[in-house]
Amino acid sequence: MRTSLSGVLSANHIRLEHSVARIYYPGSPRSRCTDPPARLPSPHSMRPEDVEHMREAIGLAEAAAAEGDVPVGAVIVCDGTVIARAANAMRSGGAIAHAEMRALAAASATLGTGRLERATLYVTLEPCAMCAGAIVLARLRRVVFAAWDDKAGMAGSIEDLLRHPRLNHRAEVTAGVLAEESAVLLRAFFRDRR
């Protein structure tokens, strides 16, 4: 059976990502917010400003949690300037009020265009399919996220929509920036609701 590096060999449950094989066992319990060593960011992809902007996104996630929303925050930076900030607001805004979607809308309004080709999105949780699709359509240059989302993540956990070879735009992706801080927030939020 032939496959590309991003393909899935379903016969033996081996998923190849970025030249690293990981074995998934169907039905095995997997934590929502853990960061296996195979998915830690390479030191070459992180930039000095990444931590500063991710800390701001984590602050927004904390605000979302205080409002009873899933703690996800997003910041969009263009040419070194923050042009949009948002937190999850699904309790009041419905299913599409994810932090990324709200930040993309605010950034588009700020710049007067839906094309965000020079922008970087910082988000505390790996984007879902809806958000990843919007990121591709907005043509963001770069996406930096903190915690992996094994249940809905579309930047490498379930599939990699942000860098899919058949799409006409592929964002640069940096993962795992302040991942543990974001994961702690998410775990506490869901633990308190059980």
190's CB contacts (< 8 A; 6+ apart) are: 32
Query: Which residue matches tokens 């699709």?
Result: 133
Strand residues in 31-131 grouped as ranges (E): 73-78, 81-87, 119-125
66's CB contacts (< 8 A; 6+ apart) are: none
Q: Are 34 and 183 in contact (CB under 8 A)?
A: yes
- The catalytic site residues sit at 100
Q: Roughly what angle, to the nearest 10 degrees, separates helices 179-192 and 48-66?
A: 10
User: 115: which 2 tokens?
Assistant: 């094309």
